[in-house]
Structure 1
Amino acid sequence: MSDEKPAKTQRRVQTVETAGAILRAFARTPQPMKLRELADATGIAPSQLHPYLVSLRNADLVEQIEGALYTLGPFALELGLARLRGQDAYPEAIRRIGELAEATDLMVAISVWGAHGTTIVYVRDSPKLIHSYVRPGNIFQLSLTATGRLFAAFLPVARTDALIRAEFEALESSQSAHYGIDEAWFRDRLETIRARGYETTTDIPIPGVSAIAAPVFDHTQRLQLGITLIGPSPAVDMHPNGTAITRLTDFTEKLSADLGYYREDTGADR
């Protein structure tokens, strides 16, 4: 007979969870709502919603405007700002990427936009060692790498255009031409990246090495980090519904949400 004690069931307060569902509905809707609209969003009958709204209004978590419309109140804003002050993209990403590396069995790189372009700032190695020279301080090319194209897609054009043009001028007779990449193809590719939310490369620019990159946004709707999975091409599942892409995009979407990002469109302010 096992000596292990059964896991203790934690007590739950249903009214608090219901209030949380109401606040979440407000957070997901950009405009004020009528009582019926809130009922439809939460699945809670209007007659049941009303006393919750009275209590939430008393706590300044909800306010009533223009008579019949409800929206988040000033204390909800205070809570949101307190949450954002305690969150920072870079340390949060470092804290979490160990699980991503273990789940995918691939190298994970964190990149930011620096003075010279897309710059690697942190690398979590994989048991499957690869000779890709991916180290902090390295610069990802904008035209040839998944991470570079990711930043080119989601940063404002004014920040990237000069580097993109300079890179194509420098590479016109060498690597870009070798891989069949020209500026017209590149510009079209950026639209694809914005639409699907990630980028991939296979055997480019390093033969035998593939990568998948996805963005991390913050509460200002701006790109803060790129998270890239890197590994031997046979080990990287490139199927859109495969483990690597699914795990990576789940990771970046969760981190972005925790940083206050709310997806209203698919790109930066362009």
Structure 2
Amino acid sequence: MGQLGRAVAVLDVVADLETASASEIGRRLGLAKSTVHRLLNVLQVHDLVSRGESGYRLGGRAVGWVDRGQTMSMARLRSAALPHLVELHRRAGVAVALAAPSREAVAYPERLYDRSQLSEIAPLLSRSPLHATATGKMLLAFDPVAGRCHPAEGRLPAYTAATITSPELLDRELGRIREAGFATCRGELFPGVSAVAAPICDHRRRVVAAVGLAGPSDRVLHPGLARLVRVTAAAITSVLRSTQGEPTLLSALVLPQRA
């Protein structure tokens, strides 16, 4: 591996860990610490990494590339999803959301709801925790680095009495989601608000987003709505697969082949 290849590998590790020390990078790549420091210095000169108190992070130039790529991909995703989200909202009669991974949270690039549904899902958040939402758990279930959701102290933040705070219990929940093909949330972020979500995949069978419904438990958790969400996610997936070769979300997750 040449100098350029090693520099790119260092950049990959920093992007993966979000904050990394030279020692961590060296261990991951099997490089001497002096070599890592030399590569980091070059990347710093070009604003591809920046150094903080806790370690090295992506620099402004690299973050700009990511943001531009994410914006273009998100526009394509929203364009493919919106007609199907409108139809889902009409048929389900509850709030609908398009969700995508956003660092260590889930973001909602598109949400549809009536004024009468606002009180059912308020307070609305632009980003929500992964482990306490149906869409977040769906994204985590197919995330090859889902362990990033595991805090060093061993417990996840609790938002209600129903929030899953044990990493072990969360891992079991993610396994069930992979088997079932959809995710649920029962008052885990806000009391009385439940949700169901299904995955959206691109032409490489990578999970790039999720479709979710949210509202009162007695309405949202009806088996018929779970099927409707899955049908909607499959329809959006079909649109994305028909656009072979187009860029997808940079934080895409892997969906394994099913027998």
TM-score range relative to shorter protein:
0.5 to 0.7
Give 2:36's aligned residue.
Answer: none
Give 1:133's aligned residue.
Answer: 122
What amino acid is the match of 1:121? P
Separation in 1 of the partners of 2:179 and 2:164? 23
Separation in 2 of the partners of 1:196 and 1:178? 21
Give 1:22's aligned residue.
Answer: none
Preserved contact between residue 164 and residue 170 of structure 2 (Cα < 8 Å):
no
What amino acid is the match of 1:139? R
| Map 1:158-197 → 2, pairs under 5 A | 160-165=146-151, 169=155, 171=157, 174-175=158-159, 179=163, 181-197=165-181
Preserved contact between residue 211 and residue 236 of structure 1 (Cα < 8 Å):
yes
Match of 2:241 among 260, 264, 268: 260
Distance 1:106 1:166, change over 3 A: farther
| 1:242-263 CA distance string (max 9 Å, x none) | 2x111110111122123228xx
Return the offset for 1:178. 6.0
Give 2:140's aligned residue.
Answer: 152
Match of 2:111 among 98, 115, 123: 123
Separation in 1 of the partners of 2:175 and 2:84? 29
Task: State TM-score, norm by structure 2.
Answer: 0.58
Q: Which 4+ stretches in 1 moved above 6 angstroms?
A: none
Q: SS at the partner of 2:86?
A: helix
Task: State TM-score, norm by structure 1.
Answer: 0.56
Separation in 2 of the partners of 1:134 and 1:109? 14
Return the offset for 1:114. 1.5
Return the offset for 1:235. 2.1
| 1:122-169 CA distance string (max 9 Å, x none) | 11013433343364x622212221111111101222xx3223436964
Match of 1:204 among 180, 188, 212: 188
Matched, 1:213 2:197: yes
Q: SS at the partner of 2:121?
A: coil
Matched, 1:91 2:79: yes
Give 2:229's aligned residue.
Answer: 248
Separation in 1 of the partners of 2:198 and 2:179? 12
Preserved contact between residue 131 and residue 170 of structure 2 (Cα < 8 Å):
yes
Give 1:230's aligned residue.
Answer: 214
Separation in 1 of the partners of 2:135 and 2:199? 9
Preserved contact between residue 199 and residue 207 of structure 2 (Cα < 8 Å):
yes
Structure 2: stretches of 5+ with no match in the other structure: 1-74, 243-253
Preserved contact between residue 93 and residue 255 of structure 1 (Cα < 8 Å):
yes
Q: Work out the number of aligned pairs and report it.
A: 172
Larger radius of gyration: 1
Q: SS at the partner of 1:165?
A: coil
Q: SS at the partner of 1:128?
A: helix
Preserved contact between residue 194 and residue 215 of structure 2 (Cα < 8 Å):
yes
- Say what the alpha-carbon RMSD is for the aligned residues: 2.9
| 1:198-221 CA distance string (max 9 Å, x none) | 101122221111100111000011
Structure 1: stretches of 5+ with no match in the other structure: 1-86, 262-266
Separation in 2 of the partners of 1:215 and 1:194? 10
